[in-house]
Amino acid sequence: MINEDIAISMLEEFDGCDSDNPGSRESPSVWLFGIEPGFSKKDQELEKARSTPLVTKSVDDGYSIKTQLGYRFNQKAFKLLAAINGYPVELFREFAQECQPFVKGCEGYFKGNLYPYACNNVYEWPEDAIKETGISDKNEYRQWCREHRFSTIKQWVDKYQPKIFIGVGITCRNEFSLAVFGKEVEFKEEKIIVNTYAKPIFYFIDGSRKLVVVPHFSGPYGLNSNKSLQEAGSLIARL
């Protein structure tokens, strides 16, 4: 049984999100959602090697570009967004400084996660998560989110009408569709080929509502290179 206070918090507006400006119907934003928050192992190694923390709390500096550049995920996200906006991905830092994506108080971009509890990987469910949530099994936690949280995210989408919703992680494309459309949809699929690896990109459009789900930013079939991020961004821009 889930802890009642945790259940309430996971359904609060923008819980599990890094941004504070979702845009509006009149001035819609680009939304980018991951599966769940958390450091990669590489990020953890980098943090341990530094004399100061790799990333400071977002409340300290409003999730500044400098702070975000400490995250490998955000670097790749900036590259993808740069490509969508017609920049060469190599200029992702210039794009980020100019457009200030996800920085608190800034407009145009919004970032969140399907599942709000931070873990090191999608298979992990650590002891502190069990104690805090009251859920002993990660599959049970994910099912609870399917039944309760995804409909809440859809309410956010209904209210703020993002320009496009980009999900990162194609294994969770059905979860993204539940969060955006409230149902599983029949995705269209396109592939980009980079170094003989086919990288599928799934999308579904219903009127002004657009969902694109791209591979994760790591692994041989992920968007793990500048070329793959450039091509994925160009494809999304055509939508």
Mean pLDDT for the stretch of residues 197-222: 96
Question: Is 134:126 a contact under the CB 8 Å cutoff?
Answer: no
Q: Take residue 143 and report the two structure tokens written for it.
A: 């099912």
Burial classification of residue 12, based on how many CB atoms lie within 10 Å of its CB (0-12 exposed, 13-18 middle, 19 or more buried): exposed
Which residues have a Cβ under 8 Å from the Cβ of 127 and sit 6 or more positions away? none
Q: Structure pTM?
A: 0.91
pLDDT value, residue 14 = 96
Instruction: Give the start-end residues of each E strand in 124-227.
Output: 164-168, 188-194, 197-206, 209-214
pLDDT digits (tens, 9 = 90+) for 176-192: 999 999 999 999 999 99
Element at 92 (helix H, strand E): helix 92-99
Segment 143-164, tens digit of pLDDT: 999 999 999 999 999 999 999 9
Model pLDDT, residue 33:
98
Q: What is the pLDDT of residues 98-120, one digit of tens each?
A: 999 999 999 999 999 999 998 88
Residue 55 has pLDDT above 50, yes or no: no
CB pairs under 8 A, 24+ apart, for 150-158?
150/114, 150/175, 150/178, 150/179, 151/178, 151/182, 152/11, 153/112, 153/114, 153/179, 153/180, 154/178, 154/179, 154/180, 154/181, 154/182, 156/13, 156/14, 156/22, 157/31, 157/209
Q: Which percentage of the chain shows pLDDT scores above 70?
A: 91
Question: Exposed (0-12), middle (13-18) or buried (19+): which is 14, by Cβ within 10 Å?
Answer: middle
Which CATH number applies to 4-238? 3.40.470
* Domain ranges, ordered by start, for the chain: 4-238
Across 224-239, average pLDDT: 96
d(CA 89, CA 79): 5
pLDDT at 120: 83
Measure the CA–CA gap between 14 and 10, rounded to whole angstroms.
9
Q: Which of 35, 31, 41, 29 is nearest to 16 (CA)?
A: 35
Residue 185: strand, helix, or coil:
coil
Give the per-residue pLDDT at 142.
Answer: 96
Q: How confident is the model at residue 58 (pLDDT cuts 50, 70, 90)?
A: very low
Q: Which tokens is 210 given?
A: 């657009």
Q: Is the pLDDT of residue 38 over 60?
A: yes
Three-class SS of residue 52? coil
pLDDT band at 123 (very low <50, low <70, confident <90, very high): confident
Question: Cβ contacts of residue 192 below 8 Å, gap of 6+?
Answer: 198, 199, 201, 228, 231, 232, 235
